[in-house]
Chains A and B, each alone.
Chain A
Amino acid sequence: AAGVIQSPRHLIKEKRETATLKCYPIPRHDTVYWYQQGPGQDPQFLISFYEKMQSDKGSIPDRFSAQQFSDYHSELNMSSLELGDSALYFCASSPTGTTGMNTEAFFGQGTRLTVV
């Protein structure tokens, strides 16, 4: 079965550089979530999209932006990278269930970003 695909799997950037992370949700999933997870920490919600519109926003820095495209894939753009941005970045997708609410979220394998 198709899963959530994230690219790249690993990324090394220098401080002040820019990075773009991509997420391809499971087909027919209309909601995408982005989470950041530092070493030994819980996933921290960044932002979500539903039907290509921003739906919810968490602790996403102003240096970061994201969007969901017409084919439902999403990109997280990170600028002026800082050492503290080094983390695993997860994307998840979710379908809307018969009740009109999101059901379970399926996670990708993540992109490990290292800022040096």
Chain B
Amino acid sequence: GESVGLHLPTLSVQEGDNSIINCAYSNSASDYFIWYKQESGKGPQFIIDIRSNMDKRQGQRVTVLLNKTVKHLSLQIAATQPGDSAVYFCAEPPSRTGNQFYFGTGTSLTVIP
């Protein structure tokens, strides 16, 4: 079945630096990905999404890059702030309506003041 996974479980960055969180996927037919942020004790929150007809999408301080050739996507956070400390998941919506969202292993981002 499909799998979505992250390369590193933890990441520590200095406040103000840029953060890059990576994610690999295995299903070459995947055409839509979502990044979620989960703060401690809270539900995952949507950050940004990208479809396979794009290789880059920008939001407020966040950019997602998609490399379909190597089945890899990354989340870049510019000027990381303490409030960015959280666990980040990449997720793949189901290929069939109603099927599960596949979550990759989360990366815990810690911002050092």
Chain A residue numbers with a CB within 8 Å of B45 are: 107
Chain A contributes a number of interface residues (CB within 8 A of B) equal to: 31
Expressed in whole angstroms, the minimum distance between the Cβ of A31 and any Cβ of chain B is 5
Q: Is the interface of A mostly helix, strand, loop or mixed?
A: strand
Task: Encode A82-116 as 1/0 by CB contact (under 8 A) with B.
Answer: 00000010101010100011111111111010000
Across the interface, do B97 and A45 meet the contact criterion of CB distance under 8 Å? no
Whether A102 touches B94, Cβ cut-off 8 Å, given contacts A33-B100, A56-B100, is: yes
Kindly state whether residue A50 has any CB partner on chain B within 8 Å. yes
Inter-chain contact B46/A48, CB cutoff 8 Å: no
Judge if B83 is at the interface, Cβ distance under 8 Å.
Answer: no
Minimum CB distance partner of A6 in chain B: B43
A107 and B93 CA atoms in complex are apart in Å by 13
Please determine whether A31 and B103 come into contact, CB atoms closer than 8 angstroms.
no
Number of interface residues of B (CB under 8 A): 25
The distance from the CB of A102 to the nearest CB of chain B, in whole angstroms, is 5
Binding site secondary structure of chain B: loop
Closest to B105 in A: A42
Report A-chain residues with C-beta under 8 Å of the C-beta of B106: 42
Beta-carbon contacts of A45-77 to B below 8 Å, as 1s and 0s?
100111101011010000000000000000000
Report the separation of the CA atoms of residues A88 and B100 in the bound assembly, to the nearest whole angstrom: 18
**Which chain B residue shows the least CB distance to A106?**
B46
Q: Report A-chain residues with C-beta under 8 Å of the C-beta of B95.
A: 101
Please list 14 pairs of residues, one from A and one from B, whose beta carbons are closer than 8 Å in the complex, sorted by A's number. A43-B103, A45-B101, A48-B98, A51-B98, A53-B98, A55-B99, A94-B93, A96-B97, A102-B93, A103-B32, A103-B93, A108-B43, A109-B43, A112-B41
